[in-house]
Amino acid sequence: MSEKKRHAAIVLAAGKGSRMKSDVPKQYLILNGKPVLYYALRAFEDSFVDEIVLVTGAGQESYCQKEIVEKYGFQKVTHVIAGGKERYDSVYRGICALDGADYVYIHDGARPFIDDALLLRAKENVEQYHACAAGMPSKDTIKIVDKDGFVADTPQRKYTWMIQTPQVFDYPLIHDAYEQLYQHMPEVQITDDAMVVETMLQTPVKLYEGSYNNIKITTPEDLVIAESFLHV
């Protein structure tokens, strides 16, 4: 019989939330009585995932440990660590904190609406494809623009997807991709983990079906939408 695989999650909560324009970082804002960050941790805690690394802002570790991990009894959180300046710095610290794993689920703590079905799709896809990202087909037409805001290209809508998290990888593969990133930092801005793999490795990244509810809380109106999802 094959050995049981180890699934680890890295939940990112080290951002400043500048687009939210609130005094409190958005991951700690209250949504239906609980912090935004609670919901993603709850989904991983109640899933097949074995271990969770929570990456938070420097100086927020003990707040997270007491007011979130202990308060809500998240037993799978093995590390609460400080993130870095950019999202990819926070991810890299999370990867290094893990004492090995077979698969890593990298997730924005600002996306509260992951559920069991989505996590199972993530699991099936990573086991088959090794590098995967959640996404949904774009509802709107997407345009590529030049630096002056003129349209440079219009990709066919059937080929444009909006990318979400969890982004899920074989652990050695994502570890290698991030090691290479720090050796050959590209000029372009790195905005997700799939991009690190695309840029640094030859491995193709498979998109799997996320959900239209799996929004990232980014600007104030997202909180209104999120509240409405919790009350349907």
Residues that bind ligand CTP (CB under 6 A): 12-19, 27, 55, 83-87, 89-90, 108-110, 216, 218
Pick 5 or 19: Cβ nearer ligand CTP: 19
Residue with tokens 């609406």: 113
Contact call for residues 168 and 122 (beta carbons, < 8 A)? yes
Alpha-carbon separation of residue 1 from 5, 8, 103, 124, 128 (angstroms): 12, 22, 19, 19, 19
User: Cα separation of 38 and 71, whole Å?
Assistant: 10
Pick 15 or 166: Cβ nearer ligand CTP: 15
User: Cα separation of 87 and 120, whole Å?
Assistant: 25
User: Cα separation of 222 and 218, whole Å?
Assistant: 6
Least distance from ligand CTP to the Cβ atom of residue 2, Å:
34
Contact call for residues 221 and 19 (beta carbons, < 8 A)? no
The interaxial angle of helices 87-97 and 171-183, nearest 10 deg, is 130
Pick 10 or 197: Cβ nearer ligand CTP: 10
Least distance from ligand CTP to the Cβ atom of residue 84, Å:
6
Least distance from ligand CTP to the Cβ atom of residue 26, Å:
6
Q: Residue 103 CA to chain centroid, in angstroms?
A: 14
Pick 78 or 102: Cβ nearer ligand CTP: 78
How are beta strands 206-209 and 131-137 bridged, if at all?
Answer: parallel
Least distance from ligand CTP to the Cβ atom of residue 58, Å:
10
Pick 16 or 157: Cβ nearer ligand CTP: 16
Residue with tokens 């695989």: 5
Which residue's Cβ lies closest to ligand CTP?
Answer: 15
Least distance from ligand CTP to the Cβ atom of residue 209, Å:
20
Least distance from ligand CTP to the Cβ atom of residue 216, Å:
5
Pick 92 or 103: Cβ nearer ligand CTP: 92
